[in-house]
Chains A and B, each alone.
Chain A
Amino acid sequence: MRRPLHPPRPVGGLNRAEMSWRDKIRQINMSLLALITAVACIGFLTLYSAAQGSLEPWALKQMIRFMLGMGLLLTAAMVDIRNWMRYAYVFYGVSVVLLVIVQIHGTIGMGAQRWIDLGFIQLQPSELMKVALIMALSRYFHGQAPEDFRRLTSLFIPLIMVLVPVGLVLKQPDLGTALMLLMSSGAMFFIAGVRIWIFGIALAGGLGAIPVAWQFLHDYQRQRLIIFLNPDQDPLGAGYHITQSKIALGSGGLLGKGFMMGTQSRLNFLPEKQTDFIFTMFAEEWGMLGAVVLLFLYSLLVAWGYSISLRCRSQFSRLLALGIVTTFFLYFFINSAMVMGLVPVVGVPLPLISYGGTSMLSLLFGFGLVMCAHVHRDIPISRSGAVED
């Protein structure tokens, strides 16, 4: 749905400093919205089935959250991209402070401190941080020329920007989110143009650090890794989740057991079927065919993100859009690889489908930024942050 670009004009046009509301609304990428809605609808359907044909207790709430999230998305898209850039560090700083507050005042949930209860919503700063870190890194790299990366010192500041929240999230402890932050920032470094050999060194260093890191892992985290390596050693205990998940997936076969006919999930053999293992339930009922369609939709969304990113004129917008899309990719890849037994069980939800408010809102907010980059794609921004003419 490519709209013809108007040629740049001194006054008016899309690359002018100010866009009118009408222009912005006209620039909204309807395909992106349609794709997001399609995936979310699959989620509603699966949650409806998980409740054995009832909107309660999950599907209806999820729809309401989606509506709210769509509002958030459109709002974020309407904000001038330069404002996002201007306040990127502030947003990042606030997120860091919230992470610290969680350490101090956080409520204990699922054995880890992750939430701040604001009364009307339980705020999960680590979710906020996923977006904030990408914004902050985008702004930083926007200000760097590719040749700047030859100096290793230029990587010092962004590394600190990454490691501070990663450390805080690890302390919660939330290994999954910490790894997500590391991986999405790694992707940011990569697309920003950091030399490839540096990644080689970082990877080698990371592997070397594994024995050290093992000492700092919690028992349940070690257990998960051991179970990942050998799920059959304790099929009724710690390996139960992954064993039952594989049974559900495999028994779905090519065409699935049919909508609301998944025995593994209906009879509760499948744990967390409405949250982290919802992909399993979907694939049990719809088979490999349904799962491939879902993966295709996800990939299409990511591809759309790429095309939006590549059409942006400013490095900030490009990095922001691709960073968000990469985070989204990591979400669905890690979740589906986890339920298939390809990676260890980590608490990563299936984006837009798993039941849960914070991740839905933060994801849609993220897509709001992608949309914002699209809407403001022709606005050039100088390294200092000013509009270039």
Chain B
Amino acid sequence: MYHNSESARLFGRRAAMLAGGQAVLVGSLVARMYYLQVMEAERYRLQAEGNRISTQLLAPPRGLILDRNGIAMAINQHNYRVLVIPEQTPSLNFTLDRLAQIIPLGESDRIRIAKDARRRRSFVPITVRENLSWEDVSRVEVNAPDLPGITIDVGQSRYYPMERLGAHLLGYVSVPSEQDLASQAADSLLELPGFRIGKAGVEKIYDLALRGKGGRSTMEVNSVGRVIKQLDRIEGEPGIDLNLTLDLRLQEYAAQRLGEESAAVVVMDIFSGNVLVMVSTPSFDPNAFNRGLTGAEWNELNTNPRSPLTNKAISGQFAPGSTFKLMVALAALEGGGISPDMRVFCPGHMQLGSVKFHCWKKGGHGSLDMVGGIKNSCDVYFYEIARRIGPDRIHDMALKFGLGQATGIDLSGEHPGLIPNRAWKKAAMGQPWHPGETLVNGIGQGYCLTTPLQLATMVARVANGGLQVVPRVARDEIDGRIVKPHDDHPQWPSCEVSPHSIDLVRRGMFGVSNEPGGTAYRARIQEENMWLSGKTGTAQVRHISMHERETGVKKNEELPWKERDHALFVAYAPEHAPRFAISVVVEHGGGGSAVAAPIARDIMIEVQRREVTRLNEMGKRE
């Protein structure tokens, strides 16, 4: 028994040591559990929630865009899609074979679906086909029992029912770019697959209001992302419907009137700044972008010399030509020290040093005062005036009337144009101003560049007596998400030009359109109470050489399109109580009086007729 009791004692000691060690180990387990389950519990609880909860954004329907009379210009169309959920099919190929008997299904579609099916988890729906017709949808629905795993899903896509009409103004929507995502990181809607935001025009400027507010659906998901149940659902706010100032029927009329020309027309209310018409031709069908363009179509749009994708009304910059003489005249009267009665003799040209500057009328106009100078658009008269007052005064006046800078219209992509002065030339070219440039500048040629919208704004400010009206296309003022109706006659700041000076210019414009000999007399309005006062402009785009002058200046019809003059016309109506201002620019169209003025006349008649009808209807209602 000796060895046994000896062993037993040793065994007891060692067992006690072992037990002690084990107790320490168990203690460490408890300590670790305390650390994980008590001290760090909150952190892990959050992580477990993050695992469990998946949030899905619900895209709000985009606000509609309507014209001033409520005609829809941009709407949301149902986009019916066929989806297949692979795990609900007995076999993907079997279901797709069945489906192919009902709706056409291309081989490329099948390859794409098979690829998606391999890549994604089997409960994730795969798009089979998009933009289904209602007939196809019905056929699929009727055959649903034979199509296990197939579902129909309705998405939304933007549709512009007026197609080409107003396409430039509306702009378009597209998927957000990297920059969009970075600059608008706060709105998680942008990360939704397939979500589109405004990229140009009204769609861009009013994007936030049109977009609405996303809803959110909170779901419990398992480790592979399958939805177990919906926990919560917050509906978003749909986008705000936006009323434009545009009159779609006038827009349509103006577009038809311009026909195939590369041209732009802007008609605006001279008091409110509401733009009734803004046409740029040729146009394009924005829906084609949603459908997807072929390479050839895209090439045609991009390389067309008449640039259908550009909104010429705000982005096209043209020399204003003789329409600029209104500004020269005002600058001369306002501080230029020129009396309206001062007479200038026009022999058909003006000699400055060794250079001869020609008037558009070969024989000359003889002696003219200011009203006569405007009415006849005499170049020599304005050469002389410009020579006396210099380019800086002209520049300052032009800027007061909205030229040489963006008007601030609520559209994207507006170009500022250019009105030169001495300082500008020094800065831009590093050269002093030449006296000859003063003369060219005086008839709106040379460095001068204006957009059709600026010209309309300019004439509107002349017509309203010098109020600095700003054009706009949205009828409601949208500031963030609050929509409030516009004050129809906002208090515009004044140009600070004396009424006498403006009266004088307007008398000249009256002569242009309504007195025999005026440059637009043939394009006058004879309808009662609708007379317009205007100013023609013909902007030369090429240099006429001495040789050509001697052998006879070529007619526009003899020149290639790119070398023809731009035809311009600005006007307001009715002449006795001005309401509307118009500018027409026909790119390489020829002479302002022959091409642009008749277009302006027809459109202004239509504008005023519509206004009369509208007022009558309002009268009846009251």
Contacts and interface: CB of A to CB of B under 8 A. Distances in A.
Interface of A: 145-146, 187, 190-193, 244, 246-254, 263-264, 267-269, 283, 287-288, 291-292, 295, 299, 302-303, 306, 309-310, 313-315, 318-319, 322, 326, 329, 333, 336-337, 340-342, 380, 383, 388
B51 A269 contact: yes
Interface string B548-578: 0000000000000000000000000000000
* The 8 nearest A-B residue pairs measured at CB: A250-B44, A251-B48, A288-B37, A267-B222, A268-B223, A253-B41, A251-B45, A191-B14
A250 B37 contact: yes
Nearest to B14: A191
Contacts of A306: 15, 19
Given A267-B51, A313-B4, A315-B7, A187 B18 contact: yes
B105 to A, nearest CB: 35
Contacts, number: 137
Interface in B19-75: 19, 22-23, 25-26, 28-30, 32-34, 36-38, 40-41, 43-45, 47-49, 51-52
B11 A291 contact: no
A263 B44 contact: no
A254 B1 contact: no
Contacts of B14: 190-193
A309 B32 CA distance: 30
A282 B228 CA distance: 22
16 contacts: A145-B7, A193-B7, A248-B44, A253-B38, A253-B45, A264-B48, A264-B51, A267-B221, A267-B222, A267-B228, A292-B30, A309-B15, A337-B28, A340-B32, A342-B32, A380-B1
B226 to A, nearest CB: 9
Nearest to A383: B3
A309 B30 CA distance: 26
Given A263-B48, A306-B15, A341-B32, 15 more contacts: A190-B14, A191-B18, A244-B51, A247-B48, A250-B41, A251-B48, A251-B49, A253-B37, A254-B38, A268-B224, A288-B34, A310-B11, A310-B15, A326-B18, A342-B28
Nearest to A245: B36
A249 B33 contact: yes
B26 A388 contact: no
B612 interface: no
A336 B44 contact: no
B10 interface: yes
Nearest to A194: B14
Contacts of A309: 15
Nearest to B224: A268
B6 A146 contact: yes
B43 A267 contact: no
Nearest to B10: A193
Nearest to A243: B47
A291 B4 contact: no
Q: How large is the interface on B (under 10, 10 to 19, 20 to 34, 35 or more residues)?
A: 35 or more
B33 A263 contact: no
A251 B28 CA distance: 20
A25 to B, nearest CB: 27
B22 A263 contact: no
A287 B26 contact: no
Interface string B311-333: 00000000000000000000000
B490 to A, nearest CB: 59
A100 B170 CA distance: 81
A267 B220 contact: yes
Contact of B33 (A313, A340, A380): A340
Contact of B38 (A288, A314, A315): A288
A386 to B, nearest CB: 13
Contacts of B47: 247, 250-251
Nearest to B40: A250
B15 A249 contact: no
Contacts of B26: 295, 299, 333
A283 B45 CA distance: 13
A190 B18 contact: yes
B12 interface: yes
Contact of A292 (B19, B33, B228): B33
Contacts of B228: 267
Contacts of B37: 249-250, 252-254, 283, 287-288, 291
Contacts of A252: 37, 41
B4 A315 contact: yes
A336 B44 CA distance: 18
A288 B22 CA distance: 20
